[in-house]
């Protein structure tokens, strides 16, 4: 009985239930491109701020906060502009 | 060459006095901008029907026209601008240090105009942000448009961070010579400043320049932007790996032309002959020639492979392009500019700042024409000509043409405003200035 079950389990394990690991499905091309390749120079710049010499944590944090504040103000400003357009024209 | 010594007084002069010319240019740019804003308002009221854009194929229509062509042109100017500035910092090209901040500001101004074009081109711009952000986690996986938005955001923010960090040194030292009513702005810029940070900030800016010099040419204007077009297999005019180098060469050519124009106008307005020297303008003119030559070379590659024994679809679009008056204007203008640049390279007496100014304007007209034609003809000559028998060709409406003048006026207003807020020439450039044009690294 046990032997039959074991044989069946081994047979099942050898059945290809999927065609294998597909990296494009796991992370589609845009994800690789934007976060893997295009992002690299930005990661290098930020790593340089925090790990390179000379460095000062206060200045590195200042640079990072400026960066994030600018991202928020850019999209926040765009949101405000488009809402104004909605208010006046639609 | 002037024998005047450059000093910090020179670079704060725009903030301390206002000439009649300033008011005249401000008024003229303001009027043009207002006229265009009224035209845009008309478009928002009536819809994109007031443009000559149309459903693809119907009436020979194209869905992308001047708006997208001008968008690429402004993005190109922006990218080239920051590449110039990053090269100055990264490679120690001190000769061009006086134009580094002008190039950075040109990037901010030009990129803002490019972004505005996307808003203008959108039929319902009020839905822009709300449709982009929620869909982003999915759209970024496969959509070149989402990649484009990501990289342009990154790029804009990196440039603005770069500018914000470099301004701290200048504003702190020149604060007593800058207008009092802008005190709160200067307090924000110099928040937490101490002279001990100078060396560290300079290194941080170096790291940013390193990131930008890789990101902007290789992945942005030589990458994501041309991929918007080059990845579409049904448009032979857009397809192919050559689009990356072609876009990049146009970006750099346009940006150098833009920097030459702004530098020469500022030099005239503020007597900056001893800072923005003939020597520097001539150097920029030579770089303009180098990238202009690349532009012509890459066009030649496309034309030859398009007209000599080509595939049918590629042959159709290439044949249409080479006889189009807009294309002929672009190429003839560029060839004339190159003739001047090579003549002045061989014989120095041929060089004059005024001729370089004319050359720079011609280059910008040529690159704008080529970019708009690239977009339009790409759509007009697809691989499968389903609408071949439908008569008519796209020609931009007055609303679309007005946008080109309007965005140029807005960019001019941006520069006029910024002249009154911060020094457009770095303090380092006058501190390290050598009046005889000698530099640490010649380029």
DSSP secondary structure string for all residues of B390-413: S-------HHHHHHHHHHHHHHHH
Q: CB under 8 Å to B390, separation ≥6 — which residues?
A: B57, B58, B59, B60
pLDDT tens per residue across span B201-228: 999 999 999 998 888 888 888 889 999 9
Residue of B nearest to A63 (CA): B161
Determine, for residues A66 and B164 on separate chains, whether the beta-carbon distance falls below 8 Å.
yes
Determine, for residues B158 and A67 on separate chains, whether the beta-carbon distance falls below 8 Å.
yes
**pLDDT over threshold 60, residue B277:** yes
Asked if the C-beta of B44 comes within 8 angstroms of chain A's C-beta atoms, the answer is yes
Asked if the C-beta of B140 comes within 8 angstroms of chain A's C-beta atoms, the answer is yes
pLDDT tens per residue across span A13-52: 776 666 667 777 778 889 999 999 989 999 999 999 999 9
The confidence score (pLDDT) of residue B442 equals 44
Determine, for residues A66 and B165 on separate chains, whether the beta-carbon distance falls below 8 Å.
yes
**pLDDT over threshold 50, residue B113:** yes
Tell me, what's the ipTM? 0.86
Map tokens 């001729």 to a residue.
Answer: B355
Contact criterion met (CB below 8 Å) for B230 and B241: yes
Cα–Cα distance measured from residue B230 to residue B220, given in angstroms and rounded to the nearest whole number = 13
Work out the average pLDDT over B262-285: 95
Q: Which residues of A touch B127 (CB under 8 A)?
A: 82
Cα–Cα distance measured from residue B262 to residue A23, given in angstroms and rounded to the nearest whole number = 48
Contact criterion met (CB below 8 Å) for B368 and B69: yes
Q: Collapse the DSSP code of B134 into the 3-class scheme (helix H, G, I; strand E, B; otherwise coil) and give the result.
A: helix
The confidence score (pLDDT) of residue A16 equals 63
Cα–Cα distance measured from residue B33 to residue B410, given in angstroms and rounded to the nearest whole number = 6
pTM for this predicted structure: 0.90
The confidence score (pLDDT) of residue B60 equals 63
**pLDDT over threshold 60, residue A76:** yes
The torsion defined by the Cα of B328, B329, B330 and B336, in degrees rounded to 10, comes to 100
Asked if the C-beta of B234 comes within 8 angstroms of chain A's C-beta atoms, the answer is no
Work out the average pLDDT over B73-101: 87
Determine, for residues A45 and B207 on separate chains, whether the beta-carbon distance falls below 8 Å.
yes
Per-residue confidence band for B33, with pLDDT thresholds at 50, 70 and 90: very high
Q: Which residues of B touch A54 (CB under 8 A)?
A: 199-200, 203
The confidence score (pLDDT) of residue B222 equals 87
Q: Which residues of B touch A79 (CB under 8 A)?
A: 129-130
pLDDT tens per residue across span B388-423: 777 777 889 999 999 999 999 999 999 999 999 999
The torsion defined by the Cα of B73, B78, B82 and B87, in degrees rounded to 10, comes to 10
Of A55, A70, A90, the CB nearest to B160: A70
Determine, for residues A49 and B204 on separate chains, whether the beta-carbon distance falls below 8 Å.
yes
Asked if the C-beta of A6 comes within 8 angstroms of chain B's C-beta atoms, the answer is no
**pLDDT over threshold 50, residue B439:** no
The confidence score (pLDDT) of residue B84 equals 84
Both structure tokens of B391: 């008569």
């Amino acid at each position: 009985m046990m032997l039959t079950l074991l044989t069946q389990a081994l047979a099942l394990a050898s059945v290809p239930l999927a065609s294998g690991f597909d990296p494009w499905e796991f992370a589609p091309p845009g994800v690789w491109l934007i976060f893997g390749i295009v992002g690299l120079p930005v990661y290098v710049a930020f790593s340089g701020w925090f790990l390179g010499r000379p460095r000062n944590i206060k200045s590195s944090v200042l640079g990072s906060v400026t960066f994030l504040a600018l991202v928020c103000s850019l999209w926040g400003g765009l949101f405000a502009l488009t809402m104004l357009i909605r208010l006046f024209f639609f | 060459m002037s024998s005047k010594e450059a000093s910090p007084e020179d670079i704060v002069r725009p903030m301390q006095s206002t000439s009649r010319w300033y008011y005249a240019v401000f008024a003229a740019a303001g009027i043009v901008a207002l006229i265009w804003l009224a035209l845009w308002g008309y478009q928002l009221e009536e819809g994109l029907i007031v443009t000559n854009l149309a459903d693809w194929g119907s009436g020979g229509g194209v869905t992308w026209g001047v708006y997208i062509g001008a968008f690429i042109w402004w993005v190109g100017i922006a990218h080239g601008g920051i590449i110039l500035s990053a090269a100055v910092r990264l490679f120690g090209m001190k000769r061009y240090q006086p134009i580094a901040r002008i190039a950075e500001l040109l990037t901010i101004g030009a990129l803002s105009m490019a972004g505005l074009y996307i808003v203008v081109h959108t039929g319902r711009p009020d839905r822009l942000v709300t449709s982009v952000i929620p869909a982003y986690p999915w759209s970024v996986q496969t959509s070149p448009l989402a990649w484009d938005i990501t990289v342009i955001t990154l790029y804009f923010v990196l440039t603005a961070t770069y500018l914000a960090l470099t301004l701290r040194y200048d504003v702190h030292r020149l604060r007593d010579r800058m207008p009092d009513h802008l005190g709160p702005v200067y307090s924000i810029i110099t928040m937490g400043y101490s002279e001990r940070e100078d060396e560290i900030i300079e290194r941080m800016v170096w790291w940013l320049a390193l990131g930008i010099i890789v990101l902007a040419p290789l992945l942005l204007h030589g990458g994501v932007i041309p991929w918007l077009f080059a990845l579409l297999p049904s448009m032979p005019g857009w397809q192919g790996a050559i689009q990356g180098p072609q876009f990049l060469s146009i970006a750099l050519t346009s940006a150098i032309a833009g920097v030459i124009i702004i530098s020469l106008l500022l030099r005239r307005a503020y007597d900056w002959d001893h800072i923005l020297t003939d020597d520097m303008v001539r150097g920029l003119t030579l770089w303009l020639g180098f990238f202009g030559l690349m532009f012509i070379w890459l066009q030649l590659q496309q034309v030859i492979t398009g007209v000599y024994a080509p595939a049918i679809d590629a042959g159709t679009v290439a044949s249409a392009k080479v006889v189009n008056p807009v294309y002929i204007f672009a190429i003839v203008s560029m060839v004339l500019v190159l003739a001047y640049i090579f003549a002045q390279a061989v014989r120095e007496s041929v060089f004059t700042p005024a001729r370089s100014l004319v050359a720079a304007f011609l280059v910008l007209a040529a690159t704008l024409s080529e970019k708009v034609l690239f977009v339009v003809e790409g759509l007009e000559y697809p691989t499968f000509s389903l609408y071949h028998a439908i008569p008519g060709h796209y020609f931009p409406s007055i609303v679309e043409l007005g946008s080109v003048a309007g965005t140029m006026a807005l960019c001019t207003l941006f520069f006029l405003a910024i002249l009154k807020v911060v020094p457009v020439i770095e303090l380092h450039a006058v501190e390290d200035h050598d009046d005889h044009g000698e530099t640490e690294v010649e380029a």
